[in-house]
Each structure stands twice: as structure tokens, then as C-alpha cells.
């Protein structure tokens, strides 16, 4: 449901709302009244509220609760959030200062969750009163900067969870790993949305927004194509394994961490990169799970690939250690080190990327680099299967 549907179902018009608000607060030149929220984005339903915001410099408004004013229009209860003009100018100034600073993902937390939501609502808001003044405020807010803020917020939280996963794995706590991995997946999907320019920070709309991604969303990522929609991919990865054995949860968590390494560097390139960097597109699925196939080592939970200062890098989170600079092709190939692909599959992909003569050597060099830096996740013994063998 969108705004027009909501107003029609409620039997009211924009003019009705404006007239009722005017009678309650006496709108004056310089005031800005705008509507925002799920109805403006087409995400609403019959239970949605009409979210109105009044930006003003006045101090004579009688609040009904906190900084809100409640009005009723034809049995429709409307809550108006009143925000001081000086507060809006202050948050816009802070945000633009943040956007100009050297990038450090954790600096996204200089803003509260309420700050993030207000900035998004301002960005998408539709004027009911004071349209020209609202346009001036919106001109101070770059949608790409707001998408990057969403990305940095998700990137920082994802990194802390990756470090936690490595610690949980070291002490054999697979149950906590399962829930931490699903949190990592949620932040990864937020990073995917940010890379496509979506700025809504509210997690409850994550799946609805994923459904809006283009059908070729996965073809734009490195790695291989599953053929799923973004929602289907999310649901598939989110589904807990049937077994709660340490090995089953270990593999489940590695898949999520590997998908995260596909998404975040791509999103960083999309929002921070330059048009002269060509990222290899995904290939048709080239899984090879036969018993004879030599598996690729899987990158550990706390190993990160990032795009920074015009290039990709491979490193371990939370520790001092080697940082390897990667070409776009190397980044794409490392996305196959996910517990799903084999050595032969990686060689085939390397050939598709143009390294026909050196394909095998290139993969072997990558394996040597990963093992030298101790970036591989190793394996976990399935205790339940081992017990069954011993009992047998």
C-alpha cells in the first residue's frame, strides 16, 4: 500500500490533512510539513501510520506528548513529530562533515539509530507544506552518502561478528555460532541493499527491499550464480542446518561468511570506486562436489576482503598481520574459496576470467598465500558420525 491508497481507504485527502494540521499548529512561512515512512516508499499496509514531520523554528507549539502533536482527521489518528529547524541543520552539518572524512566504518556510529531513520525519512519525504524549504534541506543530503553510511554501519557490525565467530569456533560453541552467523547474514544483506542505493535503515523492511533488487543482482557479484532471487538466497542461507553437530554448523557458518565476502567489497566498489575498475561478473554455477574433486581451502570466519583506496585487499580482522593487495580478478577467484567449490572449478573460472595459460598456477599461488598467512578455516570432525563409527 502506498500513500494514495492509504488516503483513499481512510476517506481523506492531502488537503484535509493540511487543513487539520494548520488548525492545530497554525502553519506559518518557514515551517516545513512533510510525510514520510513506509507509505511513501510503497511498503505500507492497512495497519500503517501516516508519519508526518513538522520542521519549525517556532517555540509556541503545544505538544501533546514529548515533541509530538496528535490530530484526528475523519477517525484517522495522525501523529506529527515536531523537529526544530536548528536540530535539522545540526544533524545535516554533522552528516556532511562525516561524509568528507577519510573512511572508517566504525565512524558510522557517530549517529544514533534515530538519526539514521530521520535522515532517510527526510531524504524520501514528500512536502505537504513548505515545498521549497524542504527541497533546500534535501539538497544538503546526498543519497549516495546515506547509502554509504548504511554500508559502513553494516560493515562494522559484520566485522565484529566475524571476529566473534572465530572465537566461538575456537572454544567449540557451535550453538552461539549459529545465531551469530545469522546476524552476520542480516548485516550482509543490508550491505547488499546499500550497494544498490537503498538507504532505509529499518531492519523490518529488509526482505521487502530485497524483493525489489533486479533479477540480475547476483550476476553483478563475483563468484558463481545460484539462479535465486535475493530473497530466495537470503532464506536459503538463513535456514539452519538440519543437524546441530559442530561440523554442520561450521559448514553453515562458513557459507554465510563466504557470501559476506562476495557482497561487501562489491558494495564498497559500487559506492566508493571509480568507473575504470572492472569487476568480473559471476559465472554460471561451477560446483564440483564429487569425492574425487580436490577441495579448495575455505577462508576462515575472520578473514576479510575489502575495497579501499582504489584496490582490493585480503587481511585478517582484529590482528596485525599480512595484508595482500588483490586485483579484481583475484578477488573474484577468492570468492570461490567458500567450502562449495573445488580446485578444478576454480581453474575453470580462472580460465573464464582470461588466465587460460596460467589458470592452475594462479590458483596454486592463491592457495600458497592463504596457507602462508594461515587464513584457511581448516576442517571440523563430525563428532556424531565418529561416535557412530566407533560404536559400530
- The answer to whether residues 286 and 224 touch, using CB atoms and an 8 Å cutoff, is yes
- The answer to whether residues 39 and 51 touch, using CB atoms and an 8 Å cutoff, is yes
Q: What is the pLDDT of residue 290?
A: 63
155 has pLDDT over 70? yes
Q: What is the pLDDT of residue 186?
A: 98
Q: What is the pLDDT of residue 243?
A: 93
- Coil vs helix vs strand at 347: helix
Query: Which residues share a beta bridge with 82?
Result: 54
19-26: long-range contacts, CB 8 A cutoff, minimum separation 24: 20/71, 20/72, 20/73, 20/78, 21/52, 21/54, 21/69, 21/71, 21/78, 21/80, 21/128, 21/129, 22/129, 24/69, 24/71, 24/80, 25/54, 25/61, 25/69, 25/80, 25/82
Q: What is the pLDDT of residue 391?
A: 66
Which distant-in-sequence residues (6+ apart) come within 8 Å of 178 by Cβ? 240, 244, 249, 252, 253
The residue-averaged pLDDT of 378-387 equals 62
Query: Which residues share a beta bridge with 52?
Result: 35, 80
Please give the class, per CATH, of domain 3-141. alpha beta
C-alpha closest to that of 126 among 34, 50, 41: 34
pLDDT digits (tens, 9 = 90+) for 307-341: 998 999 999 998 888 999 999 999 999 999 987 88
Q: What is the pLDDT of residue 289?
A: 62
342 has pLDDT over 80? yes
288 has pLDDT over 80? no
Query: β-pairing, 224-225 with 126-129?
Result: unpaired
Residue found by looking up cell 512533510 in the block: 34
Strands (E), 160-264: 224-225
Rounded Cα distance, 137 and 85, in Å: 10
382 has pLDDT over 80? no
Residue 284: phi and psi, rounded to 5, are: -60, 145
The residue-averaged pLDDT of 4-27 equals 94
Strands (E), the chain: 32-36, 51-56, 68-73, 76-84, 126-129, 224-225, 283-284, 303-308, 311-316, 324-326
Q: What is the pLDDT of residue 74?
A: 86
140 has pLDDT over 70? yes
40-47: long-range contacts, CB 8 A cutoff, minimum separation 24: 40/2, 40/3, 40/124, 40/125, 40/126, 41/124, 41/200, 41/205, 42/1, 42/2, 43/205, 43/208, 43/209, 44/1, 44/2, 44/3, 44/6, 45/1, 46/1, 46/9
The residue-averaged pLDDT of 353-359 equals 83
Q: What is the pLDDT of residue 373?
A: 95
Domain boundaries, the chain: 3-141, 145-387
Q: What is the pLDDT of residue 287?
A: 61
**C-alpha 267 chain-centroid distance:** 9
The residue-averaged pLDDT of 337-366 equals 88
- Coil vs helix vs strand at 54: strand
Q: What is the pLDDT of residue 392?
A: 57
Rounded Cα distance, 275 and 281, in Å: 15
- The answer to whether residues 48 and 36 touch, using CB atoms and an 8 Å cutoff, is no
Question: Would you put residue 227 in left (φ > 0), alpha (ψ -120 to 50) or beta?
Answer: left
Q: What is the pLDDT of residue 76?
A: 87
Percentage of the chain lying above the pLDDT 70 cut: 94
Q: What is the pLDDT of residue 90?
A: 98
Q: What is the pLDDT of residue 375?
A: 96
Q: What is the pLDDT of residue 223?
A: 86
Percentage of the chain lying above the pLDDT 90 cut: 76
Residue 379: phi and psi, rounded to 5, are: -135, 165
The residue-averaged pLDDT of 104-114 equals 97
The residue-averaged pLDDT of 353-364 equals 88
Rounded Cα distance, 355 and 342, in Å: 17
Rounded Cα distance, 248 and 174, in Å: 9
CB atoms within 10 A of CB 204: 9
The residue-averaged pLDDT of 92-97 equals 98
Q: Cα angle at 228 between 226 and 229, to 5 degrees?
A: 140
Q: What is the pLDDT of residue 390?
A: 55
The residue-averaged pLDDT of 178-202 equals 98
96 has pLDDT over 80? yes
Amino acid at each position: 500500500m502506498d500513500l494514495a491508497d492509504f488516503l483513499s481507504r481512510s476517506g481523506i485527502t492531502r488537503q484535509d490533512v493540511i487543513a487539520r494540521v494548520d488548525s492545530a499548529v497554525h502553519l506559518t512561512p518557514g515551517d516545513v510539513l512533510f510525510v514520510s515512512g513506509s507509505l511513501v516508499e510503497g511498503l505500507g499496509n492497512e495497519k500503517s501510520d501516516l508519519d508526518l514531520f513538522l520542521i519549525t523554528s517556532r517555540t509556541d507549539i503545544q505538544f501533546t506528548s514529548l515533541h509530538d502533536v496528535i490530530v484526528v482527521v475523519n477517525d484517522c489518528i495522525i501523529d506529527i513529530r515536531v523537529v526544530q529547524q536548528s536540530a535539522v541543520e545540526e544533524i545535516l552539518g554533522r552528516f556532511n562533515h562525516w561524509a568528507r572524512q577519510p573512511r572508517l566504518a566504525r565512524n558510522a556510529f557517530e549517529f544514533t539509530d534515530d538519526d539514521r531513520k530521520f535522515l532517510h525519512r527526510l531524504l524520501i519525504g514528500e512536502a505537504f507544506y513548505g515545498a521549497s524549504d524542504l527541497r533546500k534541506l534535501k539538497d544538503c543530503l546526498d543519497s549516495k552518502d546515506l547509502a554509504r553510511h548504511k554500508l559502513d554501519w553494516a560493515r562494522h557490525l559484520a566485522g565484529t561478528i566475524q571476529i566473534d565467530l572465530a572465537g566461538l569456533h575456537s572454544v567449540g560453541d557451535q550453538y552461539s555460532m549459529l545465531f551469530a552467523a545469522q546476524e552476520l547474514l542480516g548485516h550482509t544483506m543490508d550491505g547488499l541493499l546499500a550497494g544498490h542505493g537503498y538507504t532505509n535503515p529499518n531492519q523490518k523492511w529488509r526482505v521487502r527491499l530485497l524483493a525489489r533488487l533486479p533479477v540480475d543482482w547476483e550476476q553483478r557479484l563475483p563468484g558463481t550464480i545460484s539462479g535465486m532471487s535475493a530473497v530466495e538466497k537470503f532464506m536459503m542461507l538463513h535456514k539452519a542446518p538440519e543437524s546441530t553437530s559442530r561440523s554442520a554448523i561450521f559448514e553453515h557458518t562458513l557459507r554465510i561468511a563466504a557470501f559476506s565476502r562476495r557482497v561487501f567489497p562489491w558494495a564498497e566498489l559500487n559506492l566508493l570506486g571509480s568507473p575504470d575498475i572492472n569487476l568480473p561478473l559471476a559465472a554460471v554455477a561451477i560446483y564440483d562436489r564429487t569425492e574425487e574433486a580436490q577441495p579448495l581451502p575455505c577462508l576462515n570466519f575472520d578473514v576479510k576482503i575489502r575495497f579501499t583506496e582504489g584496490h582490493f585487499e585480503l587481511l585478517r580482522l582484529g590482528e596485525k598481520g599480512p595484508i595482500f593487495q588483490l586485483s579484481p580478478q583475484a578477488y573474484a577467484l577468492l570468492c570461490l574459496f567458500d567450502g562449495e567449490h573445488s580446485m578444478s572449478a576454480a581453474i575453470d573460472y580462472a580460465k573464464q576470467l582470461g588466465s587460460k595459460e596460467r589458470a592452475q598456477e594462479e590458483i596454486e599461488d592463491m592457495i600458497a598465500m592463504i596457507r602462508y598467512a594461515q587464513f584457511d578455516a581448516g576442517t571440523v570432525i563430525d563428532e556424531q558420525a565418529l561416535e557412530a563409527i566407533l560404536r559400530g
